[in-house]
Structure 1
Amino acid sequence: MEGIVARRVIPSDNSCLFNAVGYVMDHDKNKAPELRQVIAATVVSDPVKYSEAFLGKPNEEYCSWILDSEKWGGAIELSILADYYGREIATYDIQTTRCDLYGQGKKYSERVMLIYDGLHYDALAMSPFDGAPEEFDQTIFPVLLDRTIGPVEGLALNLVKEQHRKRSFTDTARFTLRCGVCQIGVVGQKEAVEHAQATGHVNFQEYR
């Protein structure tokens, strides 16, 4: 198998998870509105499975929340999208180099891959050579009998480890932010959220 695993950058607009999934599934980086609708429809159709305990908020409230283009997706949304497409979604975390697999155990025959830097999702694709146009990307991989995707998996992990070595991730527990409104420094996502809730300031810049 010739080629490299390439990171395909998805715009940072709070919908990166959905657009990254759209790219690896459909070669379309603008599927966020459609996929948010899919998730809301799935959740509203099964209030027993998607209970307040599962979602962290009431079913109806969650549905209007996920349709807001400013809101981020995460594990719940990835598991729903894996089932919607009938494919496994592997997400590689740069900080821990861990791979989380959604749709696992469903015996899906194909897999796609995303990469996560602590705040942002990009797409992973198999490209014939470095710098090849995106239309040559392969983003859907057959799952083999051993439930891996063969050599592609090793190439993806090497890319993730390389990004980890370069510290191309945001440690959301320890990263330092400065409030763009009052210039106060906060450490980590938790403090940033608390500051935002206390003051209404939501314009943070990372600084080292």
Structure 2
Amino acid sequence: MDEGLVVRRVIPADNSCLFNAVGYVMENDRNRSSELRQVIATAVGNDPVHYNEAFLGKPNEEYCAWILDPEKWGGAIELSILADYYGREIAAYDVQTARCDLYGQGKGYTERVMLIYDGLHYDALAVSPFEDAPDVVDQTIFPINRDGSIGVAEALAESLVKEDQRRRSYTDTANFTLRCGVCQIGVVGQKEAVEHAQTTGHVNFQEFR
């Protein structure tokens, strides 16, 4: 695409943002989380040798039950499986570092989609023909060029990510402060939040400053 701009399409912050962001860029559907969680559980359950406890961080069967829970977040493992499921590369841009992690690379896929991650949350990236255009005209799937890039769309995405980084539009997960929505206790950083969740079973956190 030789014109337009890259826009962030906001995905609801409901613990399933990764799956719904992928659903949007792949299928223009923000409500695919339950189906895509099942896709991942099936892929992992069908290959316990590759998806072993060392790889997953928990036993295969336990992971499969865990990922089906709508309260659980997805990350690199899930993006890798979804890239293979759709047969397209997934570029995930990290605002804090301006790094792009590419899933499905080197497998001969001819198209790519793009996500953006702020440390806690995934949104979708799309090319829109003009500012404030409706999302029905979004382009979210891009052909991969011979040089491995997606041309103008990639440069526009990198520019957006760097601008968000400059504005510090990300969450530093090592040092951010959260309050438990159940018992109102404050915690600092992802590590303390995980420990609190494991101790109490509470998973409803809100960021505060």
Instruction: Tell me by how many angstroms 1:186 deviates.
Output: 2.3
1:43-74 per-residue CA deviation (whole Å, 9 max, x = no partner) reads 11111111111111111111111111111110
TM-aligned CA deviation for residue 167 of structure 1: 1.3
Q: 1:182 to 1:85 in 2, by over 3 A?
A: closer
Query: What does 1:3-18 correspond to in 2, within 5 Å?
Result: 3-18=4-19
Structure 1 counterpart of 2:83? 82
Amino acid at match of 1:193: V
Aligned-residue CA RMSD in angstroms? Answer: 1.4
Alpha-carbon deviation of 1:10? Answer: 0.4
1:109 lines up with 2:79 in the alignment:
no
The answer on 1:197 being equivalent to 2:207 is: no
Q: Identity percentage over the alignment? A: 78
Structure 2 residue identity aligned to 1:148: S
Deviation at 1:204, TM superposition (A): 3.2
Q: Which runs of 5+ in 1 are unaligned?
A: none
Question: Contact between 2:89 and 2:103, CA under 8 Å: does it hold in 1?
Answer: yes
Paired residues of 2:71 and 2:203 also in contact (CA < 8 A): no
Q: Look up the match of 2:61.
A: 60
1:39 alignment partner in structure 2: 40
Alignment of 1:48 onto 2:37 = no
CA separation of 1:8/1:106 partners in 2, compared to 1, >3 Å: closer, same or farther?
Answer: same
Q: Deviations over 1:73-104 (max 9, x none)?
A: 10000000000101000000011110000001
Shift of 1:203: 4.1
Amino acid at match of 1:137: D
Matches of 1:34 and 1:203, distance apart in 2: 23
Question: Which sits farther off after the overlay, 70-79 or 159-168?
Answer: 159-168
Query: Please, what TM-score do these two structures have when normalized by structure 2?
Result: 0.95
Determine the structure 2 residue equivalent to 1:2: 3
Structure 1 residue 181 displacement after superposition: 5.1
After TM superposition, give the deviation of residue 198 of structure 1 in Å. Answer: 3.5
Task: Give distance in 2, aligned partners of 1:130 and 1:141.
Answer: 20
Structure 2 CA distance, aligned partners of 1:46 and 1:60? 11
Q: For residues 141-175 of structure 1, give each alpha carbon's deviation from its aligned partner in whole angstroms, at most 9, with x where no partner exists.
A: 00000000011111001101111112111111011
